[in-house]
Structure 1
Amino acid sequence: MQQTILADLDIHAPDAREGAETIWARMREADGLAFMPGYGGFHAVARHDDLMTALLDPRLFASGGGITVPAPDGVRSPHIPAEIDPPFHRSYRALLTPYLTPQKVREREPSVRRLVTGLLDGIGDDLRFDFVERVARPLPVLGTIDLLGLPVEDAMLLDGLVVELHEEVATGVRTGAAQKLTDYVEHVITRRQPQASDARADLLSSILLGTVDGRALTLDEQVSMIRLFLIGGFDTTAIALATAIWWLAEHPADIARLRADPALIDSMIEDVVRFASPSTYLRRTVTAPVELGGTQLQAGDQLLLAFGAANRDPVRFDRPDDIVLDRSPNPHLGFGAGHHRCVGSFFAKLEMRVAVQEILARYAHFRLDPDQPCRMGSGLNQGITFLPMVFERPR
């Protein structure tokens, strides 16, 4: 068996998302796992069933060595709980999940709706604008800040630091963003710790006062958990929401279906997450000899989890390159699976649902701006980063 070598694949190249569907198809169609030689070498897990196998066996395919590409250099604290392997992972995650259950998230709908309507009100009479800049990007930033109880005036600062941090990962050039974000979070902890009295009060209090295996979290652990919320939620939700509006702008018949049957919005959002796969690539490390996808792997081998490829796998999805409003079943892996399934998935889906509802209610029509093409970003989270639109109000 001759291994497929993806010599032209660099996930951090500026144009990495352009035409990625072609590379994803090559990954899926390879005999065994295709191989990306860049960044030290990665076996690409691109077929849906193979990716599910890797996600559901964290002991063989571990996150503890890091989940980013390239692998981090030097000594650093892990992203908790995303880079904590079982059995300790469960204890950290238990501090977060009570505040992000479907019921708890539903209770936050009024505050999310206020954020969405506030953003749309702020646009005013401007009917030509970049949807990412004005809505898709600020919504998850403000939503996460609200969820953590952070000052709303810090939104632009935090968004800028997260953008810089992604650039650090992609280029390896240190800008100081990582330390600035750590300093900010430490300041939040110092300010809020004396006021926190009940670990069950809210998400931030759970991190500040909760325990793991009978002990309090260290400052480094607290910082890591809060940082992960900020890093993990901004890009992915923005990309998915932008993709939803892009698709609807290109498919007015689907807009008509949603207006006639608003209950379809929930299933549409699920398929948007599958189609967009905003968390496009992550890393795992093999811990023992094992065969995966027809390739024999050894301990220490690095895996590139290609969510974008697996979520377009025609073996599992009919019409994989379309967003199907009522797709069912939909076993997508856009939020991951198993121990490391995205802890904030229900909150992200709430933000997207409310945004689509309010846009459909406020605007009669919308379309892509014919004078400006949309742009796609690269890196671990790939998708629409610039979406110029033209909106029309009801007459």
Structure 2
Amino acid sequence: MKFQPAIASIIPEEALNKQWNKWLKRAPLRPTVVNRTLSPITNLLFDYPPEVRRHLQLTIDYYLSHGTLPILQQLRDSFDSSQQQSKSTTSGIASIPGIDVVSCGYDIFNLSSKNCLLDLTENDKNTWIDANNNGHIYKIPDGFFVLSQTDLLTTYGSTIFSNLSELWQNPFYAIEHDSWGFFGFGASHSRREIIEQYRYKLAWTRQQVLLYTLSISSFPIPRLHKLARLAISKLPSSFDPRSTEIWKQFFDAYGTHYVIRSDIGGLMLGEDYFESCLIEKYNKTWIRDQLSIRYWFFGSINEQSEQHTLKVDKIFKQNSISILKLIGGQDFVDVYDKQKWLSTVKNRPQPVSYQLAPIYTLLSEGPQRKALEQATIYFRSSAVNESTPYVQRLQNSPFTSPLPKLECSVAQLRKKRAKVQ
């Protein structure tokens, strides 16, 4: 028998009862851990992107299985193997990717998906065959339909945004049945995002591949999920701005809008932030040229061979912040091998666009729909009213830019133009 903490003195076996009593007295003075509840360290990264958590978990799984740290290719092979094993052990037909977004609520303030609102009951008769993925069959919930995309590589280009209104009204978002349009979009309080969005100009360079479009039937609209139906039934039939707690709980759970349609596939997105002065000193054409060189691997094979031999201008490299994002496919694939990434999109497609409508449009005309509409407008207005002074304070507060200070005075620009002339 072994006791923790250990007892220093050695007592004959026949005196075990005395030893036990002695241990009982000493244990409270020197307690020790007797059991542990463990959790993967990936759970600590709850505020990191899913790609980071997945990469860490794959690394841990590989180390536990092989006793060594993997190289990137070994991680890819391990992931492919786990995907094949998952497919072989899953009974029946899988649900179509994107069903966890379409029909679900959407938080327009933080631009994030929420709980699903509609009934996702499936049957084996309602299926769709993916011609781009070896005829793979997916189950489709009742009241949903799929439109196949025949042209896979549909979009490549760069867009420079002058303000947030232009940013929201991009190919990624669309609004239906909402007279308030994009009012309240992105009205979050993240200091980093606010600084990037309001201090700098933003250019998006994207390469998009679409596999299919997943939509909700416009008539008849699918039934509400029983939990969503219960949540809506608990809402008051009139809106009182002095009592908003229950409305806040509802919007925290479901958002103000829901996704009625989404293009599913993959997206390579380059985000570049730079001082507006850079456009004044040069021009948008020059900036787009630099972006096409920086993201040479986005283009076609011919474009890649031409652009890969060029280098980004030192001025643009020093005066811009570049962020590359991957949506869909393997997130740890070599980004310079676009064909390799594209080959993984068909097995792991994700939503690349969102068509939204207010949740209150799901309800029949009546007092409850009117109350939900008023609450929606109230919370959108409150978000804008709260974010506006916050943004103004940030714009007027001292700011240490990570980018070098550009000389963009009127006199200097005139001198530069005079030299050119």
TM-score range, shorter chain: 0.3 to 0.5
TM-score (norm 2): 0.32
Structure with more of its chain in strand, by fraction:
2
TM-score (norm 1): 0.33
